[in-house]
Amino acid sequence: VDASQLRYTDTASVVSGVQMSTATGAAATAGTHTITASNGLASNYALSYVNGTLTVDKAALTVTANDGRKTYGDADPTLGYTVDASQLRYTDTASVVSGVQMSTATGAAATAGTHTITAANG
């Protein structure tokens, strides 16, 4: 309610029954969605409605590079990752994650020891 449009001693309480809705519901996807107001009542006023915007931020999801092992001189093993399933929402599965690029700077000439495996993008 735009209080500057109210007359005399009227307050926002003269408006009742306004219904707010979005087309997305509780399982709204990340992005922006329209909020619509409708069905309000105010005996001395002709109501007009201005849509709002619901912004849904992406949920955090941890992708962890799997540990690997190889012998000096061998090619790097296939690099993989794990998705923290406890962070997934609704009926989402790990398949919602794609494009993860796995890398290590070692290659076949890696020295013995511990080397970092990196998961990026996705």
Q: Domain spans of the chain?
A: 3-56, 63-121
Question: Would you say how long the chain is, in residues?
Answer: 122
Q: Which tens digits make up the pLDDT trace of 69-96? A: 988 888 889 999 999 999 999 889 999 9
Rounded to an integer, the average pLDDT of 96-104 is: 93
DSSP-derived pairing of the beta strands 81-83 and 100-104:
unpaired
CB 7 within 8 A of CB 38: no
Of residues 74 and 36, the one with the higher pLDDT is 36
C-alpha pair distances (Å), 65 with each of 29, 62, 74, 119, 120: 26, 10, 20, 6, 9
Q: Which tens digits make up the pLDDT trace of 23-33? A: 777 777 899 99
